[in-house]
Amino acid sequence: MQEHRIPTAGGSISCLDSATDGPVLLLIHGNSSCKAVFRAQFASDALAGFRLVAPDLPGHGASDDATDPAATYTFGGYAAAIQQVMAALAIERPVVFGWSLGGHVALELAGRGTPLAGVMISGAPPVKPELPCLMAAFNIDPAAENLTGKRDFSEDDAQAYALHTAGVDGQVDPHLLAMVRRTDGRAREIMFGSVVTGAPLDEQAIVASMTMPLAVLNGADDPFIQHAYFDTLAYATLWSHGIMALPGAGHAPFLQQPEAFNAHLAAFATDCHR
């Protein structure tokens, strides 16, 4: 296991690398999280035949806060940072798993023409950056405070966000809670603002025209997404397993049902490299 420090245009990126032989699985975490959320994947026997690489996004984990927040804390800005990580580590045609925000970054990578062997997303509905589409894809309660885009978290905010995004059996991992607290609040604010003002690429168009395989594996009990929305989209290369919903899992199925999730990810990545 190695930890890299990679200089990028937006700041230094911390990246965990299993440094094993095999095709690369690139794991991209979600909003206000970190690379450590993938600990069950790095420890998985099912994924032992792959080289796992997981960066901390700018403003998250052990990575630097962005030197240019407005340019970096967007789907496109994060995708550019990941491309620089790939170049620094000589990663070619990885299978990318993107969770939540990371799923949107993965789709942005695909939409930019980044050479990828495959993409799996979880908790990341492919959307057009338009308000009606966002309302159809996500569970957004207008009467409730939206922590996703809130800049300054109170301790109660941090506890609630950590629990609802990555809690396991009603408990919050202390390190993941600390990483919620650590996240640059501008990353939430700018990212959310950029989405509602239409900055990202059209993800509906991306999945309708992708040339690499796409897998969708959500938690069956994910409270943040409208599950039926996924069935309304056109997919060019959807994996033969279809739109999957993992029983007993919420927003973070790789963390809440790791054995079942890892088996699916290993099978998908193997198919991508056949």
Per-residue pLDDT of the chain (274 residues; tens, 9 = 90+): 999 999 998 899 999 999 999 999 999 999 999 999 999 999 999 999 999 999 999 999 999 999 999 999 999 999 999 999 999 999 999 999 999 999 999 999 999 999 999 999 999 999 999 989 999 999 976 655 689 999 999 999 999 999 999 999 999 999 999 999 999 999 999 999 999 888 899 999 999 999 999 999 999 999 999 999 999 999 999 999 999 999 999 999 999 999 999 999 999 999 999 8
Tokens of 92: 């070619």
Amino acid at 216: V
pLDDT of residue 20: 94
Judged by phi (left if over 0) then psi (alpha if -120 to 50, else beta), residue 26 lies in beta
Residues 6/11/13/14 CA torsion (nearest 10 deg) = 100
- Nearest alpha-carbon partner for 38 in 149, 225, 175: 175
**Structural contact between residues 126 and 221, judged by C-beta atoms closer than 8 angstroms:** no
Domain covering 2-272, topology:
Rossmann fold (3.40.50)
- Nearest alpha-carbon partner for 181 in 149, 210, 209, 153: 153
pLDDT of residue 107: 98
pLDDT of residue 196: 87
pLDDT of residue 143: 58
pLDDT of residue 66: 97
Domain boundaries, the chain: 2-272
- Cα-based distances in Å from 171 to 164, 166, 167, 177, 256: 10, 9, 5, 10, 11
Tokens of 253: 């199925």
pLDDT of residue 146: 85
In terms of residues, how long is the chain?
274
> C-alpha 198: how far from its chain's center?
19
pLDDT of residue 144: 58
